[in-house]
Amino acid sequence: MKDINNNTQIYDILKKNLLLTYSGESEKSIIVEGKDDIIFQITNNKNELDLLTGNISDDYNLSIIDLAECETLLKEEHNINENDSLIFLKQEKSGNKASEKNVQYECFEPYNKTKLNLSICSEVNKIYMLN
């Protein structure tokens, strides 16, 4: 990615190319180092839960997203099989202190990679972000 000058370009490439081919079920996370200590990650909720329970490790020490009840609502709303994993595209500023981290993410359904609107989760428990 030598000709890429900024994180917006990296994000666009990830969203247009890698996200569309990411299966979400059996794949490991895809991690791309951006500019200015930004790390991009395409992953799924199965990988996130495996990180949370210690079943896999993360060399990048990235934040973990746990949608909790929101996952169930999203799957019901969009007719997603309960056994299929939602896909996340995360952008995180890395740092040694949790206060220095800045995490932004989008959630996609696993079939057509349509971005999901997380506002339907406003009535349930909050989404947990673990650093």
pTM of the model: 0.85
What does the block give as tokens for 88? 């996340």
Query: Which secondary structure element, helix H or strand E, spans residue 4, and what is its range?
Result: none
pLDDT in tens, 3-36: 677 999 999 999 888 888 887 776 788 999 999 9
Alpha carbons within 13 angstroms on the beta-carbon side of residue 82 total 4
pLDDT in tens, 80-125: 999 999 999 999 987 766 667 788 999 999 999 999 999 888 877 6
pLDDT in tens, 25-67: 767 889 999 999 899 999 998 888 888 887 777 666 788 888 8
25 touches 47 (CB < 8 A): no
Instruction: Reduce the DSSP state of residue 45 to 3 states and report it.
Output: helix
Q: Which residues pair with 64 in a beta bridge?
A: 130
110 touches 84 (CB < 8 A): yes
Sheet with 30-33, side-by-side order of all strands: 30-33, 38-44, 87-93, 102-108
What does the block give as tokens for 73? 């609502």
The sign one gets for the Cα dihedral 23, 105, 66, 35 is: positive
Q: CB atoms < 10 A from the CB of 7, how many?
A: 15
